Amino acid sequence: MTETPHDISERAQHMLKVLIDRYIRDGQPVGSRTLAREAGLNLSPATIRNVMSDLEELGYIRSPHTSAGRVPTVQGYRFFVDTLLKVQPLDSLSVEQLRAEFDMSMAPKELIEATSGLLSGITHLAGVVTLPKHEQAIFRRVEFLPLSEKRVLAILVTSKGEVQNRIIATERQCSASELQQASNYLNEHFTGKDLTAVRDTLLRDMQEARSTMNHMMATAMQMADQILEQNRNEGYVMAGQTNLMEFHELCDIDKLRNLFEAFNKKREILHLLDLCVHGEGIQIFIGDESGYHTLDECSMVTAPYQIDGRIVGVLGVIGPTRMAYDRVIPIVDATARLLGAALKQKD
Amino acid sequence: MTETPHDISERAQHMLKVLIDRYIRDGQPVGSRTLAREAGLNLSPATIRNVMSDLEELGYIRSPHTSAGRVPTVQGYRFFVDTLLKVQPLDSLSVEQLRAEFDMSMAPKELIEATSGLLSGITHLAGVVTLPKHEQAIFRRVEFLPLSEKRVLAILVTSKGEVQNRIIATERQCSASELQQASNYLNEHFTGKDLTAVRDTLLRDMQEARSTMNHMMATAMQMADQILEQNRNEGYVMAGQTNLMEFHELCDIDKLRNLFEAFNKKREILHLLDLCVHGEGIQIFIGDESGYHTLDECSMVTAPYQIDGRIVGVLGVIGPTRMAYDRVIPIVDATARLLGAALKQKD
DNA sequence: CTTGGCACTCTCAACTATAGAGTGCCAGCG
DNA sequence: CGCTGGCACTCTATAGTTGAGAGTGCCAAG
């Protein structure tokens, strides 16, 4: 009982936990009377008040105003998730139900989209999943198909079942056999090679010999670039933004607007997700910890997902700081595992 | 001066136009004094009041309350856009600027997305573009690539430069030559044929001869179905929803939420867009004309876009009833033409 | 037909009063 | 020494009040 880790008695910790639990449940500042009832310690409100005063001094809670109970501070939430929260992994039944949601016949991109929808659906928050980045994309095949006179459809297939296509405008009409020749050349020389290597070789080839296939090759290279770029850090897929409108702490139209615009611009969010991919395991940003003002009232819970033990992306949810961390964390964790497993099978 | 089309004097019409113009500009109910100043008719507010009273009786305008000036009713807007508004086509400079925004090297899907972004960007409203439906999709090529032991990547290319891919789980490992054989068979027999015909033939073939390629063929058929389905009425792409948060008449968080959820669900919007594709030319739904409650405060301006004279989709914008129709209509119109032209070149 | 005048209505913003919630502090008690 | 009830105090949220301002409708006169 006299053990005081972090300068805060066990009793105070328990009260902090109860307070935050309660606040997360109904969003109202918690007063001493409520807490006295809830804490199950048979203490009078006056006693609770003393403890709350201490907690306030330590920066874990604060009053919105003189007479309004206490709400957790960012620091309070931080302490809560770091040491007060006992997260237990999802029970196996739930995991199975979750697993059933993954349709294995989906192409990677669709799978990503479905996963973000899944996250938002289960948590009632906004779900987000980054596109997987593959350190090395393998050139698998390229195909050129004539569309009309001077238009050629180029299709590039890489490992992981990714397909990229784009339309090339050629300066003159290319015969089918010419196109065939070009694709044959590329397929013969490069199949199975790393895409960056292919890119470099192509670049060199094009400088050395200005072949008639230059245009085709340039396009192939462009597509390779596009895939590489996309695989580096292209973007993310988001779902369930509208869920965030339900929380009254975010009901300020301007905040909401800024938030949604940040989602659209992607840059800031992407940077945060990038931080998450480097940290190990579950990462949580609470309120202004992110450093981005638009996310001041929000928290983000993320987990990296991996294929064959290599981290290739991050997924998670964004919601108000006042989110049910204990419920959300295991879900995010499990989903990350399942997505990794689902993607692995595409290899 | 005594000509009274629709039971409403020319003077009254002019006033209605000025009133609506003014209301569209700043969103405040317009009073008699303001209108007297604005109308340029050298009439006293009292006179204006008489006319406004008539207009109110006819249902074109109404007062939010006793002392608040008048705002247009849906019927007022309807009369405004149908007979009061002289829409002049976009000047050629603007059209050229607009045309420059279309990047011809984009694949159709990207082009659609870019176009909806373009619409929302220019109008500061929400832009929406349906995916083009092609009455007849032509089978162009199919390709099967082995991914891992029992996984095959299938790629189906149709006319219009559309590429569909999906991953097949095979019950046993297929050799490269087997796959090659399958694709060769399909390509030889079906290239250039209508996709529905291909589908039917495949269905018959599969019943007759249970070949080893059944699985492959079934998948090809699935993909064909998918493309056909998508081309029938799949969906739409939307951009700039956040723009709608700027309008104070939509600032009610619940309305906004419902609106955004309608956008996500797509069904209702899709139904409206479908109506627009059948009517000729520019279509405008004002307020509750749509029949959907969530769109009560919104208007939708759409134009079908065509390829080779055949209407294949609709695009437009969604915004508050109080939108600058005179500016929006020509933009929607021109964009529809340009998108059609841009898509035509993919053929 | 148009106009100025005038009484009337309604909203909006500012202000006031009050009830309720919660605190901090203190003195007393085990 | 920690816990407790009591009490004065503070602050918010809500309702009610008021006055200014805007706009109307109507009327009688030009």
Domains of chain B: 5-84 (1.10.10.10), 92-133+234-344 (3.30.450.40), 139-233 (3.30.390.60)
Q: Token digits for B250?
A: 């939509």
Average pLDDT over residues B95-122: 90
Who has greater pLDDT, A212 or B71? B71
Distance linking the first and last C-alpha atoms of chain A: 55
Give residues 16-75 of chain B lying near strand D (Cβ < 7 A). 29, 31-34, 45-46, 49, 52-53, 56, 63, 66-70
SS3 (DSSP) at A319 = strand
CA distance B123 to B103: 20
CA distance A334 to A91: 10
Q: How confident is the model at residue A159 (pLDDT cuts 50, 70, 90)?
A: confident
Q: Which residues of B touch A107 (CB under 8 A)?
A: 165-167
How many Å from the CA of B254 to C1' of D16?
Answer: 29
Q: Token digits for B36?
A: 């007297």
pLDDT at B6: 53
A169 closest CB neighbour out of B105, B148, B256: B105
Confirm if A116 and A316 have CB atoms less than 8 A apart: no
Contact criterion met (CB < 8 Å) for B165 and A167: no
Confirm if A118 and A50 have CB atoms less than 8 A apart: no
SS3 (DSSP) at B133 = coil
Confirm if A65 and A82 have CB atoms less than 8 A apart: no
Average pLDDT over residues A337-341: 94
**What nucleotide is nearest B67 when CA is compared to C1'?**
D23
Q: Of B252, B312, B311, B316, nearest to B290 (Cα)?
A: B316
Q: How confident is the model at residue B247 (pLDDT cuts 50, 70, 90)?
A: confident
Distance from CA of B3 to the nearest CA of A (A): 48
Confirm if B84 and B20 have CB atoms less than 8 A apart: yes
Confirm if A85 and A326 have CB atoms less than 8 A apart: yes
CA distance A84 to A302: 19
How many Å from the CA of A34 to C1' of D8?
Answer: 22
Over residues A285-326, the pLDDT tens digits come to 999 999 999 998 999 999 999 988 889 899 999 999 999 999
Partnered with residue A154 across adjacent β-strands are A144, A166
Of the candidate ranges B32-36, B269-273, B276-280, the one whose mean pLDDT is the lowest: B276-280
Who has greater pLDDT, B282 or A254? B282
Over residues A85-122, the pLDDT tens digits come to 999 999 999 999 999 999 877 778 889 999 999 999 99
Q: Token digits for B106?
A: 């984009």
Q: Of A186, A130, A180, nearest to A311 (Cα)?
A: A130
Strand D: which nucleotides have any atom within 7 A of a protein Cβ? 3-6, 9-12, 21-27
Over residues A29-78, the pLDDT tens digits come to 999 999 999 888 889 999 999 999 999 999 999 999 888 899 999 999 99
pLDDT at B229: 64
Confirm if A139 and A224 have CB atoms less than 8 A apart: yes
Cβ neighbours of B47 (radius 10 Å): 15
Q: Which residues of A touch B159 (CB under 8 A)?
A: 147
Partnered with residue B128 across adjacent β-strands are B238, B316
Who has greater pLDDT, B192 or A205? B192
* Amino acid at residue number A159: S
Contact criterion met (CB < 8 Å) for A145 and B157: yes
Contacts of A91 (CB under 8 A, 6+ apart): none
Confirm if B346 and B140 have CB atoms less than 8 A apart: no
How many Å from the CA of B66 to C1' of C12?
Answer: 14
Confirm if B320 and B126 have CB atoms less than 8 A apart: no
Max CA distance (Å), chain B: 89
Contact criterion met (CB < 8 Å) for B161 and A143: no
Who has greater pLDDT, A198 or A84? A84
Over residues B149-171, the pLDDT tens digits come to 777 778 888 776 677 777 777 76
